[in-house]
């Protein structure tokens, strides 16, 4: 190896002891180059700097201790094991080995001193302490008390790759740095100076070989602060680069008189809210440009996102382009299809829908209309991006409930409209409010518009949390509500990880309610029913021919029945905050005061208690989303789309939110002034997670 070599460019096979098999194991950890080894950081440390007397060992701690063998015997109580009793004059401890060789057994001679490291455990009956399979070495009595290793880093490893082997590789990599080989520094010196962060080599040394035990999680050490900043920066520039790349693509500018949009808005019978108008202005400005719109439309349940989407769709059709709207369920696809057909009945816009239930001649006829351009707006599920479906002139892609789709699905639909370097515009909608800190990083590739007010007349839903023992009182409340002209949802949540059992629970609930309320009309919707059966029941409910609709969480998204003003959710403790918020959003869509009852089965876990409490306290989707992120982390809120981006090694998006604005400014400066740093940054921290973020 030449002295001016960079460790980022040297394969890990250059290290002693790394053959083909070990290289494959390292690759599993994302380690390909020697520099990758240095950036595979410890997740905890073991203090081996001092020997602890056996009498001072504490259960639950990992400690270094020494003792003299008093007894070694093989026992057969349930499982063959080697038990070794040690003493150092202050106390006794037992070492237990389930796997051992004859030589190990022979080495444990009475009087032999051992230096051991392991987790101290206790037998509750005898209060004796023991260690199972400790690390140990035989020592001479004269070597007692001479700890040699100090602070020892512990690394995430994979099967067949041991800590000892990995530490040897780390030492080899540091040895090469000491010989003059370099590691590429991806942070500009100006950033290090401004933030008071240490150099790369110094940071690596402090983290791999700390002199003292780091404080709790070591989050305040300058070395780790440097890497937290660098990792967040890598994620930000990877998404920002994607956004920049899209701007180099061409898109069809929708320049028209917007007559269809105006005609549609005049026919609605109500005025858009100020927030809807503001968002429409953002979207209109994007759609007249020759670069693809990449806009995330965020609005709480019932805020009117679909009307905004319809306006965008009409701008596209008036300019002569087709629109594809992708939704997660067939039920929602059919509902949007019927809404759009009703809204646009006085225009010459052809609206179609395409879902999995469409087969044979029906499927072929719809697919032909799409391919030949007769379909202007097509609403569908995953069926839209099947290979057999081709668009004549796709200009706008709308994704509803974006977190239900992977980014590859969104791009597959976008690519159906790609022709000669021209790409369709994209409008991505979510009813899951995303905390600002999360949006800053997780959606850095999208422009963000927020509908932050509900239409006039909508009153907040009041929420009660009651144990299942109060079910009779809840049923009595339902009876009174129906007598007052209300309609009711009764939601059965997942009882087990089985759709069959969930549907069974719904059927049981129907029978219970029919027995208790024989005078009421009760319907049922669950995931195992045929789409036409589900739709028939939903229509009956919508037309007020049913008093109560018992349903599984299939109604979570998009069902709109203004007269439904009471919802009961069984086993509410089983659901996450976002899903509870979505379900509750199905009531309170009309003029009447609405209520939601969260019914739970005691005892509640601490986490479940927090979830139900926040639902009772607020209907503010943003507050709920902030709490959801605290309880669940960012991954689930972002959904499949960002699954790769949120696999942080050292950063924590909630804990480190305070530096995200600095990260965003730094990312912008690097993209403009030092674009050569982007590729190494992304490779180092994000790696395979951003295959799709390439320009």
For the chain, give the percent of residues with pLDDT over 70.
86
Mean pLDDT confidence for 182-200:
90
CB 233 within 8 A of CB 665: no
pLDDT at position 332 over 70: yes
Instruction: Please report, for residues 269, 351, 496, 644, the alpha-carbon distance to residue 244 in angstroms, rounded to integers and kept in the order given.
Output: 40, 33, 45, 20
Q: What pLDDT is stored for residue 163 in this prediction? A: 86
Q: Tell me if 458 sits within 8 A of 588, measured CB to CB.
A: yes
pLDDT of residue 407: 56
pLDDT digits (tens, 9 = 90+) for 415-463: 777 777 788 998 988 876 666 656 666 666 678 888 887 777 667 789 9
Q: Is the peptide bond prior to 603 cis by the omega test (within 30 degrees of 0)?
A: yes
* Angstrom distance (rounded) from CA 678 to CA 655: 25
Can you name the residues that pair with 84 across neighbouring β-strands? 72, 95
Structure tokens that stand for 109 in this block: 């001679």
Residue pair 308/449 in contact by the 8 Å Cβ criterion: no
**How much is the pLDDT for 82?**
94
Alpha carbons 627 and 648: distance in angstroms, whole number: 20
Q: What is the pLDDT of residue 12?
A: 93
Rounded Cα distance between 688 and 677, Å, is 17
For 421, the token pair is 């370097």
* Residue found by looking up tokens 């063998």 in the block: 69
In angstroms, the CA 511 to CA 625 distance is 36
Radius of gyration of the chain (CA): 31
pLDDT value for 528: 75
Please provide the size of the chain in residues.
Answer: 695
pLDDT of residue 694: 32
Examine domains 259-451 and 462-618 and report if their fold is the same: yes
Q: How many CB atoms lie within 10 A of CB 452?
A: 17
Give residue-wise pLDDT tens across range 53-87.
999 999 888 889 999 999 999 998 778 899 999 99
Kindly report, residue by residue over 584-607, the tens digit of the pLDDT. 888 887 778 899 999 998 888 888
Torsion of CA 344, 346, 349, 355, to 10 degrees: 40
pTM flag (> 0.75): no
pLDDT tens, position by position, 450-471:
888 777 766 778 999 999 999 9
348 and 317 in contact (C-beta within 8 Å)?
no
Given this model, what pLDDT does residue 162 score?
A: 85
Mean pLDDT rounded to a whole number for the chain: 83
CA angle 400, 252, 397 (to 5 degrees): 10
Q: What is the pLDDT of residue 15?
A: 94
Specify the pLDDT at position 113: 95
440: its two tokens: 């800053």
Residue 470 burial (C-beta neighbours within 10 Å; 0-12, 13-18, 19+): middle
Spatial distance between the Cα atoms of 390 and 413, rounded to a whole number of angstroms:
10
What is each CA distance from 441 to 238, 263, 342, 645, 661, in whole angstroms? Answer: 10, 39, 39, 9, 10
Domain boundaries, the chain: 12-43+163-214, 50-148, 226-248+646-693, 259-451, 462-618
CA atoms of 67 and 57, how far apart (whole Å): 12
Q: What is the pLDDT of residues 485-525, one digit of tens each?
A: 999 999 987 644 455 565 667 788 888 999 999 999 999 98
- In 182-304, which ranges are continuous DSSP H helix? 189-195, 200-208, 222-248, 259-267, 274-287
**Among residues of the chain, what percentage have pLDDT more than 90?**
37
Which pLDDT score is estimated for 687? 61
CATH number of 50-148: 2.40.50.140
Name 401's Cβ contacts closer than 8 Å, sequence gap at least 6. Answer: 327, 328, 332, 429, 430, 431, 432, 557
Confidence of residue 246 (pLDDT cuts 50, 70, 90): low
Instruction: Indicate if the pLDDT at residue 14 is higher than 60.
Output: yes
Residues 6+ apart with CB under 8 A from 207: 41, 42, 153, 218, 221, 223, 224, 227
- For 79-126, give the secondary structure using H, E and C: CCEEEEEEECCCCEEEEEECCCCHHHHHHCCCCCEEEEEEECEECCCC
DSSP-assigned states of every residue in 24-36: HHHHHTT--BHHH
Query: What CA–CA distance (Å, rounded) separates 337 from 61?
Result: 61
pLDDT tens-digit readout, 346-376: 888 999 999 888 888 999 999 999 999 999 9
What is residue 555's predicted lDDT score, i.e. its pLDDT? 67
Architecture of domain 259-451: 3-Layer(aba) Sandwich (3.40)
CATH of 462-618, one of 3.40.50.300, 3.40.50.1110, 3.40.50.720, 2.60.40.1120: 3.40.50.300
Position 437 scores a pLDDT of: 59
């Amino acid at each position: 190896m030449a002295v001016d070599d960079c460790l980022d460019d040297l394969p890990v096979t250059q290290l002693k002891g790394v053959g083909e098999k070990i290289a494959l194991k390292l690759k599993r950890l994302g380690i390909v180059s020697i520099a990758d080894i240095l950036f595979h950081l410890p997740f905890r440390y073991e203090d081996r700097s001092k020997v602890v007397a056996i009498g001072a060992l504490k259960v639950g701690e990992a400690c270094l201790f020494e003792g003299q063998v008093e007894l070694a015997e093989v026992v057969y109580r349930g499982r063959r094991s080697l038990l070794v009793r040690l003493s150092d004059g202050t106390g006794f401890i037992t070492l237990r080995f389930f796997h051992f060789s004859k030589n190990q057994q022979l080495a444990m001679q009475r009087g032999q001193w051992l230096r051991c490291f392991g987790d101290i455990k206790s037998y509750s009956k005898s209060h004796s302490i023991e260690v199972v399979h400790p690390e140990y070495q035989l020592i001479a009595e004269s070597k007692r008390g001479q700890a040699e290793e100090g602070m020892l880093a512990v690394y995430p490893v994979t099967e067949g790759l041991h800590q000892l082997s990995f530490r040897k590789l780390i030492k080899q990599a540091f040895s090469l740095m000491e010989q003059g080989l370099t590691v590429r520094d991806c942070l500009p010196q100006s950033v290090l100076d401004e933030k008071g962060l240490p150099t790369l080599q110094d940071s690596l040394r402090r983290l791999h070989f700390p002199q003292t035990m780091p404080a709790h999680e070591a989050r305040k050490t300058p070395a780790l602060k440097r890497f937290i900043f660098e990792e967040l920066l890598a994620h930000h520039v990877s998404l920002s680069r994607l956004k920049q790349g899209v701007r180099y693509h061409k898109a069809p500018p929708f320049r028209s008189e917007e007559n269809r949009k105006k005609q549609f808005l005049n026919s609605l019978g109500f005025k858009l809210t100020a927030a809807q108008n503001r968002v429409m202005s953002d979207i209109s400005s994007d759609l007249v440009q020759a670069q693809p719109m990449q806009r995330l439309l965020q609005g709480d349940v019932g805020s009117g996102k679909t009307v905004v989407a319809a306006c965008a769709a009409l701008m596209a059709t008036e300019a002569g382009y087709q629109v594809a709207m992708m939704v997660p369920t067939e039920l929602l696809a059919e509902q949007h299809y019927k809404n759009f057909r009703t809204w646009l009945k006085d225009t010459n816009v052809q609206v179609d829908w395409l879902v999995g239930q469409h087969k044979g001649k029906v499927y072929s006829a719809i697919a032909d209309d799409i391919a030949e351009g007769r379909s202007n707006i097509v609403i569908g599920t995953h069926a839209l991006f099947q290979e057999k479906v081709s668009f004549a002139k796709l200009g706008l892609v709308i994704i509803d409930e974006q977190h239900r789709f992977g980014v590859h699905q969104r791009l597959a639909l976008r690519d159906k409209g790609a022709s000669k370097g021209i790409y369709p515009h994209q409008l991505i909608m979510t009813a899951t409010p995303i905390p600002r800190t999360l949006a800053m990083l997780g959606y850095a590739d999208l422009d963000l518009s927020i509908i932050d007010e509900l239409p006039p007349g909508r009153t907040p839903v009041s929420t009660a949390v009651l144990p299942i023992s109060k079910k009779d009182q809840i049923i009595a409340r339902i009876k009174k509500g129906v007598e007052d002209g209300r309609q009711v949802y009764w939601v059965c949540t997942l009882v087990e990880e089985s759709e069959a059992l969930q549907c069974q629970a719904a059927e049981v609930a129907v029978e219970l309610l029919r027995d208790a309320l024989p005078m009421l009309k009760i319907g049922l919707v669950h995931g195992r029913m045929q789409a036409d059966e589900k739709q028939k029941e939903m229509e009956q409910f919508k037309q007020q021919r049913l008093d109560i609709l018992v349903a599984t969480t299939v109604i979570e998204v998009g069902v709109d029945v203004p007269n439904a003003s009471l919802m009961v959710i069984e086993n509410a403790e089983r659901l996450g905050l976002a899903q509870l918020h979505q379900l509750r959003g199905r009531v309170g869509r009309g003029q009447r005061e609405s209520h939601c009852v969260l019914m739970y089965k005691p005892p509640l876990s601490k986490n479940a208690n927090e979830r139900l409490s926040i639902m009772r306290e607020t209907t503010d989707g943003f507050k709920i989303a902030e709490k959801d992120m605290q309880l669940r982390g960012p991954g689930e809120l972002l959904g499949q789309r960002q699954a790769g981006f949120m696999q942080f090694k050292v950063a924590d998006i909630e804990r480190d939110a305070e530096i995200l604005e600095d990260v965003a400014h730094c990312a912008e400066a690097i993209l403009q002034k030092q674009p050569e740093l982007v590729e190494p940054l992304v490779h180092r921290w994000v790696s395979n997670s951003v295959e799709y973020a390439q320009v």
